[in-house]
Amino acid sequence: RILSYDLIFYYTISYLFLVNVKGLTTAQIVFADSFYPLFKLIFQIPCTLFIQKFGKRNSLIVSNIAVAIFVLLTIGLIDTFTMIISNFFLAFAFVIKAMAESTILYDSLEDTPNKREQFTKYEGKSAAGYFFLEAITSLGTGFLYVINPYVPLIICLLVTIFTVFLSAMLHEIPTSNEEIVH
């Protein structure tokens, strides 16, 4: 979760990259980004059904692949429409991640009286780890951007691909209802 909580190496330079390298205007960026919350709203029910049908593990794999597609589309961005499509993939990914990441962690913990406290501890550690990593990488991202504006995005893509492999190593944890049915 530390690596996949959000996009590492991206947000610090995203605006500069879109304006200076891809030639978009502020109005185009704001317009395209306005589709992101709309897509997140639209995806709430379909993603819930997707997770139920394919499981949390497979859904996390697909969501991390969708994040990689977002980064690839951003690297190859040619116009506002491409940015809207990239936001489609990002919204899809983060809706699934919001639903599945925490629950797969919770389901993987042993049923003990302190399961909630243990879950909260792990969630807190992963969030803290992400923010620590994001702070460090944000410092380096600016320097990397000056060297070559594509380097931070390529590193972001590599981290995202790594999270695809990490999510593929997870195991689906059956819930008590699934154990009864099977």
pTM for this structure?
A: 0.84
What is the model's pLDDT at position 179? Answer: 46
Tell me: pLDDT of 163 over 60: yes
What is the model's pLDDT at position 52? Answer: 92
The tokens of 82 are what? 């491409």
Confidence of residue 77 (pLDDT cuts 50, 70, 90): very high
Q: Count of H helices and E strands in the chain?
A: 8, 0
More confident residue, 134 or 50: 50
